[in-house]
Structures are given as structure tokens and as C-alpha cells.
Amino acid sequence: MEELFNQLQTAHQSLEPQFKTLRQSMNALKAAMRLAAEEKADALPMQKALTKLEAAAAGVDDEGLEAAIRAFAAATQGALDDLAFDFARDLRDELTARGETVEGRPPTLAVGLLTLMIDVTARKGQWYYGKEALGRPIPLSLGGILKAHDREVKRIVNRTIDVEALVRELFQAWQDAIAKRDRRPAGGRINLVEIYAQLTLNRQNARFWNAPSRSTFKDYERPLFVRDLVILREQQSTSLSVDGELRRFRLGVATKSQAEQASRSIWLPDGALDGQFYSDITFD
């Protein structure tokens, strides 16, 4: 009998993982069925149920189950799209009433110079200026998104700077970057991201250099640098006088490989969605 018992036990151990997988698949299917029986599709619970169903069914080879999952996935995506459009419609109505121009469709909405990226699955949205994220993703509530929009309009869109002072800072950062090299680069071209880093260092005060730390560091956020360059371009403030000689800065358009790396290029927006990648700066 011992040999028979061992044989049966081996068969049981072999089937148990399959039974567990089937049981998990059945439970996930029942959850999906309950949601499908509702009068109106509830996007977020459906998304959660779909994730569990796909994971549970990964080890089950059944054409009927696969077809059911595809159908449920399509319905879930449709519900998510509807949710995104509903939120976008409400946001558009609010902003339009305030005189703002809203263009595009979910997941990307252009509002003036800013862009909102909507992630319905995560129930979050994030504002961008060009390619630069403005803060972290925030919960997808109408009030929160509008509050963040107003804050970024004030901080980014309506930003004012001393253009002459900034051109001088750019020139000093460019000179500092040149001085660090054993040989002057061709055309005096210095990577624009390097200039941004050097300019930020040049803005640090004695308190930071006496005790370098996060608390004493004076930040110059990259979105602000991008906005400042756009302001210089819009106001055609690209020159300064150095020892009686007029010097003018010029930006070099990035190559495809440079544009693919945030460490080698910077996108300067012409509007919410249009713009150009630039890789370097030189003073002629």
C-alpha cells in the first residue's frame, strides 16, 4: 500500500498547482462577471479586475478564457477612455469659462503654454511646460488640477526676468565652461545642459560654498531655465557688450541622438506642443 500511496501523492502534487491556478482564474472571472453585470461600466474597478484576471489566467491554456479576457480588456479600455473624456470635458468647461484656450484630447490637453498629461488608470494628472514636468503627478480631481494650473501659470507662464542680467550670466557660465577645458571646443560650442549646471553653480552664495549641503543649495529648476531661454528668444535679447565688443549667443539644433537624451539636449517650446531640441550654445 505504501507504493500506491506514494503514486497517488505524486499525482496529487502534480495536479495541485493546476488546481490552484484554475481556482484563482475562476475567482478572477467571477469578479469580472460581477462588474460586467452592472448597468454602467466602472472603469477603475474593471482595470483592477482585468489585471488580476490576466495574472491568474497566465497559466491556463483555454481559448474560451482568452477570448473572454480580450473582450473584458476591450470593454475596460473603453470605460477608461470614457472616464478620461468626461474629466477632460469638465476641465475644458471650467477653463473655457475663465477665458483659457484648451486644445487636444485625452490623454494630452494643451492649455495655453502648458500641457496636461492624464493618466486615468493611476487617477493622476501632470502639468508640463514643453518636455519639462512641473512637479509630481497629482490626484485627478478638478479642483486640484485647476489649482496646480493656476500655480504654474503664475510661476512659469507669467514669469518675469532681468533679460540683460541673464545674458551676462549665460556668457559667464560659457566662459567658465571654456576655461575648464584644455582645448577650446570647435566653434566654442558648449553643451546647453552643462551651461545650465554651470550657471546654477555660479548662483550659489558664500553660505553654500562654506557648508555645501541640500539646505544651503539655491536651486534653479530646469523648467525655469527653459522658460528663461524662451523669454530671451521672444524678446530677442541675445547679445551683450564685452570689452566694447558686441557678443551674441547662438543655440545649436540637436541631432536625433542628442534629442533622445535629456542630459545632452533641451527642448525649447514654441507653444504647448510645438518646439525644438537644442544641444549647445556659443557666443559669436
C-alpha cell at 50: 482585468
Closest by CA to 193, choosing from 279, 282, 283, 284, is 279
Whether the CB-CB separation of 269 and 230 falls below 8 Å is answered with yes
CB atoms within 10 A of CB 280: 23
What would the grid cell of residue 103 be?
A: 486644445
CA 152 to chain centre: 15
Using CA atoms, how far apart are residues 151 and 159, in angstroms rounded to an integer? 11
Q: Which amino acid is at 65?
A: L
Tell me how crowded residue 46 is: count the other CB atoms within 10 A of its CB.
Answer: 24
74-107 pLDDT tens trace: 888 888 888 888 888 999 999 999 999 899 988 9
Residue 269: asked if its preceding bond is cis (omega within 30°), the reply is no
Question: What torsion, rounded to 10 degrees, do the Cα atoms 39, 40, 45, 47 define?
Answer: 120
Specify the pairing of strand 108-111 against strand 102-105: antiparallel
Confidence at residue 12, expressed as pLDDT on a 0 to 100 scale: 58
* pLDDT attached to residue 55: 85
Rg (CA), the chain: 28
d(CA 73, CA 121): 13
| Three-state DSSP state, 98 | coil
CB atoms within 10 A of CB 266: 29
DSSP class of residue 3 equals H
Which pTM value belongs to this model?
0.78
The Cβ of residue 108 has, within 10 Å, a number of other Cβ atoms equal to 15
Beta-bridge partner residues of 132: 129
Tens digit of each residue's pLDDT, the chain (284 residues): 666 656 756 665 665 666 677 777 788 878 888 888 887 777 778 888 888 888 877 777 778 878 888 988 888 888 888 888 888 899 999 999 999 989 998 899 999 999 999 998 888 899 999 999 998 999 888 889 999 999 999 999 999 999 999 999 999 999 999 999 889 989 889 999 999 999 999 999 988 888 888 888 999 999 999 999 999 999 999 888 888 889 999 999 999 999 999 999 999 999 888 999 999 999 98
Name the β-bridge partners of 239: 248
